[in-house]
C-alpha cells in the first residue's frame, strides 16, 4: 500500500456539547481529520493492495476508539487496534481494484468524540489468475468430476489454500466434496461417493480481486452449472466375459463381451465415459503393431480413456464374445448391443472393469480415474482439507485407439 499519510484539512470546527452539559460524550462528534492519518490514496494515487491499511492518531492529545473498513459489498476488513489507541492496522489483504469506505472514531484529551469517513480505492492487479471450470454446462453421469484450470501455475501451499477456499462447488441435494490438486494448474472436485442422481451442481469463484501471493491476484471466472441424470453403471467382468449395465442400481441389460487379450489386457478400475464417437478409425500401428496388422472403421464407440480404450461394436469377434478375451484392450460387443450402449450412456457415466490381468486405471493422466483413489487419500490432495499440495499425475499415456 502506498505509505502516504493523508492529512485531510478539517472541514468543520469542533462543535461544543449541549449547553450546560458537562459530559463530553453528549457532544456531537467533531470532524477528526486533523487528528488522524492513514496510508491510503493521497494526491490522487490509489492504495496499494499489497500493503496493509494503517490508521494513526497524531499528537498526544487524541486516540482512536474504533475503526471500520468495508468494501463496496459491505464486507468488513479485519484489523487490530493498539492498546494505547494510537494505531490501527488491517490484518487481512485488501482486494485489488476495489472501493473501500473507512470510518474512524476518535476522542480528544477531554473525551470529546471525533469522527472521520474516507472513501478510497485500491490499484488494479498487475498479474491476474483466471479460472476456467469444466466440463461444459449440460447433463452428465454421476461420475463426472468438476474441474478447475488455472491460467498460471501455483505451487506455494499458502497460495493454493487461498485459491481453494475461493472456488465454491454446491449441489442439490447437498453432498460433501473436496478439491484435489492434480498439478500446479489443475484441480478436480468430487464427493466421497458418486454424485446423486438428478443433482444440480454449480461451481463459481470468489477470487476476483483477492490477493493470492507473490503479486498475483484473482481474475474473472465464469460460473458453471451442470446436472446429473440417472445413475448408470456398466460393470465389465473380464473373467466372465459379461457386462452388466445398471440404472439406479437395477440391472437393465447383460451383454456378452470380449476384453483385452494377454499382452493387451484391459485396465482394471473405475473409468468415466469421456466421449461418444459414432465412427472412429483404429489402426494397429497406433499401438505399436505392424502397419498391416489392422486398419478398421469402428462404430458405436464410447471412449473411456485418453489412450484410446473404448466400448464399441466388434462384429469380427462375436464368436468370442462371452467366452474369451481377444481384443487389443477395448471392450467389444455385437453391433446391436454396442448401438444400444452408445444410445444409453452419457458422458460422465461409470464403466468399471474387474478381473482383468491389466494394470490399474491411472487416477488422472489417462482420463477420469478419480474414483479409484480412496477418500482419505483424495483429501490429502487438498491444500485446505488434507495438506498435501504437491500432487502430480501418476503417469503419462499416449493418445491411441485400441480394439
Q: What is the pLDDT of residue 288?
A: 56
Cα 225 to Cα 21, 48, 274: the distances in Å are: 63, 35, 18
Q: What is the pLDDT of residue 14?
A: 39
**Rounded Cα distance, 48 and 123, in Å:** 6
Mean pLDDT along residues 60-71: 90
Three-state DSSP class for residue 185: coil
Q: Is 330 an active-site residue?
A: yes
**Rounded Cα distance, 143 and 188, in Å:** 12
Within the chain, which residue ranges are assigned CATH 2.40.440.10? 232-367
Q: What is the pLDDT of residue 92?
A: 85
Q: Does the model's pTM come out above 0.95?
A: no
**Rounded Cα distance, 240 and 158, in Å:** 50
Q: Which CATH class is domain 232-367?
A: mainly beta
Q: Which CATH class is domain 128-228?
A: mainly beta
Mean pLDDT (the chain) is 86
C-alpha closest to that of 62 among 28, 93, 85: 85
Q: Is the pLDDT of residue 319 over 80?
A: yes
Least confident of 119-123, 142-146, 274-278, 293-297: 293-297
Angle value at C-alpha 154, between 152 and 159, nearest 5 degrees? 125
pLDDT tens track for 357-386: 999 999 999 999 999 999 999 999 999 986
Q: Is 355 an active-site residue?
A: no
- Eight-state DSSP code of residue 180: E
Q: Considering the candidates 180, 188, 312, 328, report the single residue annotated as catalytic.
A: 312
Q: Residue 11's pLDDT band (boundaries 50, 70, 90)? A: very low
Angle value at C-alpha 172, between 170 and 178, nearest 5 degrees? 35
Q: Is the pLDDT of residue 391 over 60?
A: no
pLDDT tens track for 139-195: 999 999 999 999 999 999 999 999 999 999 999 999 999 999 999 999 999 999 999
CATH fold for domain 30-121: Immunoglobulin-like (2.60.40)
Within the chain, which residue ranges are assigned CATH 2.60.40.3780? 30-121
**Rounded Cα distance, 253 and 226, in Å:** 27
Q: Residue 46's pLDDT band (boundaries 50, 70, 90)? A: confident
Cα 56 to Cα 11, 29, 44, 61, 66: the distances in Å are: 19, 18, 20, 13, 12
Within the chain, which residue ranges are assigned CATH 2.60.40.3710? 128-228
pLDDT tens track for 71-98: 998 989 999 999 998 999 999 878 888 8
Q: Let me know: does 199 contact 227? Beta carbons within 8 Å.
A: yes
Amino acid at each position: 500500500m502506498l505509505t502516504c499519510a493523508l492529512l485531510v484539512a478539517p472541514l468543520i470546527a469542533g462543535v461544543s456539547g449541549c449547553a450546560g452539559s458537562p459530559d463530553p460524550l453528549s457532544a456531537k462528534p467533531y470532524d477528526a481529520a486533523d487528528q488522524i492519518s492513514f496510508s491510503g490514496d493521497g494526491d490522487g494515487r490509489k492504495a496499494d493492495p499489497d500493503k496493509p491499511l494503517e490508521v494513526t492518531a497524531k499528537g498526544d492529545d487524541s486516540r482512536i476508539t474504533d475503526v471500520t473498513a468495508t468494501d463496496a459489498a459491505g464486507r468488513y476488513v479485519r484489523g487490530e487496534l493498539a492498546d494505547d489507541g494510537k494505531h490501527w492496522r488491517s490484518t487481512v489483504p485488501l482486494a485489488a481494484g476495489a472501493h473501500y469506505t473507512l470510518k474512524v472514531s476518535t476522542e480528544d484529551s477531554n473525551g470529546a468524540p471525533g469522527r472521520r469517513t474516507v472513501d478510497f480505492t485500491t490499484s488494479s492487479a498487475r498479474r491476474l489468475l483466471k479460472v476456467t471450470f469444466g466440463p461444459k454446462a449440460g447433463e452428465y453421469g454421476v461420475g463426472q468430476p468438476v474441474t478447475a484450470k488455472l491460467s498460471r501455475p501455483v505451487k506455494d501451499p499458502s497460495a493454493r489454500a487461498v485459491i481453494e477456499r475461493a472456488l465454491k462447488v454446491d449441489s442439490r441435494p447437498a453432498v460433501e466434496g473436496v478439491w484435489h490438486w492434480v498439478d500446479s494448474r489443475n484441480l478436480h472436485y468430487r464427493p466421497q461417493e458418486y454424485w446423486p442422481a438428478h443433482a444440480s451442481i454449480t461451481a463459481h469463484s470468489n477470487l476476483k480481486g483477492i490477493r493470492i501471493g507473490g503479486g498475483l491476484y484473482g481474475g474473472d471466472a465464469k460460473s458453471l452449472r451442470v446436472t446429473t441424470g440417472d445413475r448408470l453403471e456398466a460393470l465389465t467382468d473380464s473373467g466372465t466375459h459379461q457386462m452388466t449395465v445398471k440404472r439406479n442400481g437395477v440391472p437393465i441389460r447383460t451383454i456378452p463381451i470380449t476384453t483385452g487379450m494377454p499382452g493387451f489386457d484391459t485396465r482394471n478400475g473405475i473409468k468415466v465415459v469421456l466421449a461418444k464417437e459414432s465412427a472412429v478409425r483404429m489402426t494397429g500401428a497406433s499401438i505399436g503393431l505392424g502397419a498391416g496388422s489392422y486398419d478398421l472403421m469402428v462404430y458405436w464407440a464410447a471412449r473411456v480413456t485418453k489412450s484410446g480404450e473404448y466400448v464399441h461394436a466388434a462384429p469380427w469377434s462375436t464368436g468370442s464374445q462371452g467366452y474369451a478375451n481377444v481384443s487389443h484392450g477395448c471392450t467389444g460387443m455385437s453391433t446391436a448391443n454396442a448401438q444400444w450402449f452408445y444410445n444409453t450412456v452419457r458422458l460422465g457415466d461409470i464403466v468399471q472393469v474387474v478381473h482383468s490381468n491389466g494394470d490399474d486405471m491411472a487416477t488422472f493422466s489417462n482420463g477420469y480415474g478419480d474414483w479409484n483413489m480412496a477418500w482419505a487419500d483424495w483429501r490429502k490432495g487438498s491444500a485446505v482439507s488434507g495438506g498435501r499440495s504437491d500432487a502430480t499425475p501418476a503417469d503419462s499415456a499416449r493418445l491411441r485407439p485400441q480394439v
